[in-house]
Amino acid sequence: MTLVAQKSLFLLLVSIIAVFGDFEDSITFTAFTKDGDNFVSTFDDNLTERGCNSSEKVAVVVHGWGESMETNWVNDLIKNLREYRGGCIIFMDYSNHSIDRDYFNLVRKFGPISSVLIRKLDQLNNQGFDDKNMFMYGFSFGAQLSIYAGMSFGKNRIAEMDLCDPAGPGFVLAFELRPTFAAKNVQCIHTSSAKGTMKRNCHQDWLMGKCGRSQDAAGIFPRGSHGLCPKFYNSAFTNNFYATENMYRCPSRRVAVNVPKNFKMGYMETRKNKVFGDLFSPTSECYPYNNLPAAGIDNRPGPFARMRRQRLTQELRRCEA
């Protein structure tokens, strides 16, 4: 198969499947208003009347494979966005499709699921929400959905998009998915080479931990290197994950230059439009997972060994919490 044929196969496949069913009834959008209420938002409702004011900010959050509104990071993220961003937050729940043991069944539904998301973005636009007030967050499969939906909504229309470890499997040949078109600024945070993509094609690509491939904090599912990404992102609302030198000598053809002092990963960084390319931020074993000097990870013998071992035990206990 030629490369061109491979390239078109991906979207051809998803568009064929798109005609097989209307996915709108099986996907739920829950809107969280700035007053702390929430409601299920249909395609017919007037969002302003229901408490999501179209003159204010809006954020759209998209989960990944196997996830739903019950997933831990989701509630933490909604809380963080309410506190640090404000406005309305719309959570897309496609768990009727994402809770499928076969990941590739979900990949086959990429087209119809993304169509529903595009329809929601169009609804926001029709109701007067301003592009400059639009933010999207997607994790894993949800990151790929966000890229496609953002591009379809309009090249570089959405103001900002933060994508956590965009899914790799099933998207290797999806050259049509161009993150730099999906929003004016797209920040990608990479934590895993097994489940996350190896593509580095966003405005900023954060290679977290060991080159964005693995994390010291990784444990058993769902806290693998991939599952840690939303945890890092939530942590970054209150803890700083600064850009550092490329200390693990990660391969990169586009190391970011002229990075401002204390430039950091996550929603809170306000100078994103000044930086393009790959960024590096080592992570640690325990919450808050950032690269500030971690206390107590030192098991050398010596006069203070006992104290250090105690601190290490405390540290490990803290990790388990």
Ligand X SMILES: *[C@@H]1O[C@H](CO)[C@@H](O)[C@H](O)[C@H]1NC(C)=O
Query: What does the DSSP 8-state code read for residue 254?
Result: -
CA–CA gap between residue 273 and residue 279 (Å, rounded): 14
In the list 93, 160, 205, 269, the residue contacting ligand X (rule: CB under 6 A) is 93
Among residues 5, 44, 46, 320, the one that binds ligand X under rule CB under 6 A:
46
CA distances from 172 to 23, 133, 168, 169, 225 (A): 25, 31, 6, 6, 19
48 binds ligand X (CB under 6 A): yes
Closest CA to 226 of 193, 204, 250, 186: 193
What residues have CB less than 8 Å from 302, skipping those under 6 apart?
A: none
Q: Which of 49, 70, 83, 298 binds ligand X (CB under 6 A)?
A: 49
In the complex with ligand X, the residue whose CB is nearer, 96 or 246, is 96
**Segment near ligand X (CB under 6 A); pick from 46-54, 167-175, 206-214, 293-301:** 46-54
Which H or E run includes 189?
A: strand 185-190
Stretch that binds ligand X, among 23-31, 112-120, 130-138, 300-308 (CB under 6 A): 23-31
Closest approach of Cβ 47 to ligand X, in Å?
8
- Dihedral sign computed on CA atoms, order 227, 245, 262, 187: negative
Which CB atom, from 2 or from 46, has the smaller least distance to ligand X?
46
Task: List the one residue from 96, 180, 239, 246 that touches ligand X (CB under 6 A).
Answer: 96
As given in the structure block, the two tokens for residue 205 are 């690509």
Q: Which are the contacts of 48, defined by CB distance < 8 A and separation ≥ 6?
A: 54, 55, 127, 128
152 binds ligand X (CB under 6 A): no
Pairwise CA distance, residues 255 & 82, whole Å: 33
DSSP letter for 317, please: H
| 270 contacts ligand X (rule: CB under 6 A) | no
Give the integer Cα–Cα distance in Å for 155 and 158.
Answer: 8
Of 64 and 196, the one with the shorter C-beta distance to ligand X is 64
**Minimum Å distance from CB 162 to ligand X?**
24
Per-residue x/- track, 112-151, ligand X (CB under 6 A): ---------------x------------------------
CB under 6 A: which stretch of 15-23, 52-60, 75-83, 276-284 binds ligand X? 52-60
Is 30 near ligand X (CB under 6 A)? no
List residues binding ligand X (CB under 6 A).
Answer: 25-28, 46, 48-49, 53, 55-56, 93, 95-96, 127
